[in-house]
Structure 1
Amino acid sequence: MKKAGILNRHLSGALAELGHGDRVLVCDAGMPIPDGPRVVDLAFRAGVPSFAQVLDGLLAELVVEGATAASEVRGANPEAAALLDGRFPGLELVPHAALKERSAGARLVVRTGEARPYANVLLTCGVFF
């Protein structure tokens, strides 16, 4: 049994399969999930687990070379916007419709229980060397 890091076996296994350039969508409970990507649904109740908790757990285990979020986050969810700005200085912002389109190409979707709007980010995996 693992003693640290992500303990969810489905999520831990999915992360181990990712490679350079693969994309991971971390999303709130309301984001439409496209057909195709593997989905690990962590949502338990509204707000549990939060977007911030899941994102920080993933960032502790992944190398991320880029991140994209919906431009609407700035006005609709300042907390999520501040979180994303703090974690990703080069954050790319696109319209929400474009983020949904790009999400169709994700290899993995991690759904949180977040119940605030636009708490979504599309991560692009990097390499550790």
Structure 2
Amino acid sequence: MKKTGILNRHLSGALAELGHGDGVLVCDAGMPIPDGPRVVDLAFRAGVPSFAEVVEGLLEELVVEGATAASEVREANPAAARLLAGHFTRLAYVSHEELKVLSAGARLVVRTGEARPYANVLLRCGVFF
């Protein structure tokens, strides 16, 4: 049994399969999940686990070279906007509708229990060297 890091076996295994350029959508409980990407659903109850907890946990294990979020997050969910701006120097904004279209190309979707609007980010995996 692992003693540190992400303990969820489905998520840990899915992360190990990612490569350079792969997309990982971290989304709130209300984001429509497209057909195609592998999904690890962590949602337990409204707000559990939070978007922030999942993003921060993933960033401890992944190399991320860029991220894309919905521009609506800045006005509708300032806490999520601050979290994203604090973690990503290469953060692009698109409309929420465009983010939903882009999410179809993700390799992995991680659904959180977040119940605040627009708490979604599409991560682009990088390399450690």
TM class by shorter chain equals: over 0.9
Aligned to 1:20: 20
* AA aligned opposite 1:19: G
Aligned to 1:91: 91
Q: Given the two structures, how large is their TM-score scaled by the length of structure 2?
A: 0.99
State the SS of the aligned residue for 1:47.
Answer: coil
2:92 is the alignment partner of 1:107: no
Structure 1: segments with no counterpart, 5+ residues:
none
Q: Given the two structures, how large is their TM-score scaled by the length of structure 1?
A: 0.99
1:29-62 Cα distance to aligned partner (Å, 9 max, x none) = 0000000000000000000000000000000000
* AA aligned opposite 1:115: A
The aligned runs of 1:45-60 (5 Å cut-off) are 45-60=45-60
* AA aligned opposite 2:96: H
Q: CA RMSD in A?
A: 0.3
CA contact (8 A) 2:65 2:90 kept: no
State the SS of the aligned residue for 2:25.
Answer: strand
Following superposition, the deviation at residue 90 of structure 1 comes to 2.0
Structure 2: segments with no counterpart, 5+ residues:
none
**C-alpha distance in structure 2 between counterparts of 1:90 and 1:124, whole Å:** 10
* AA aligned opposite 1:27: C
Runs of 4+ in 1 over 6 A off after TM superposition: none
**C-alpha distance in structure 2 between counterparts of 1:18 and 1:68, whole Å:** 18
Aligned to 2:117: 117
Aligned to 2:11: 11
1:54-111 Cα distance to aligned partner (Å, 9 max, x none) = 0000000000000000000001000000000000122100000000000000000000
State the SS of the aligned residue for 1:11.
Answer: helix
* AA aligned opposite 2:31: M
Following superposition, the deviation at residue 19 of structure 1 comes to 0.2
* Deviates most, 31-40 or 86-95: 86-95
* AA aligned opposite 2:79: E
**C-alpha distance in structure 2 between counterparts of 1:109 and 1:91, whole Å:** 18
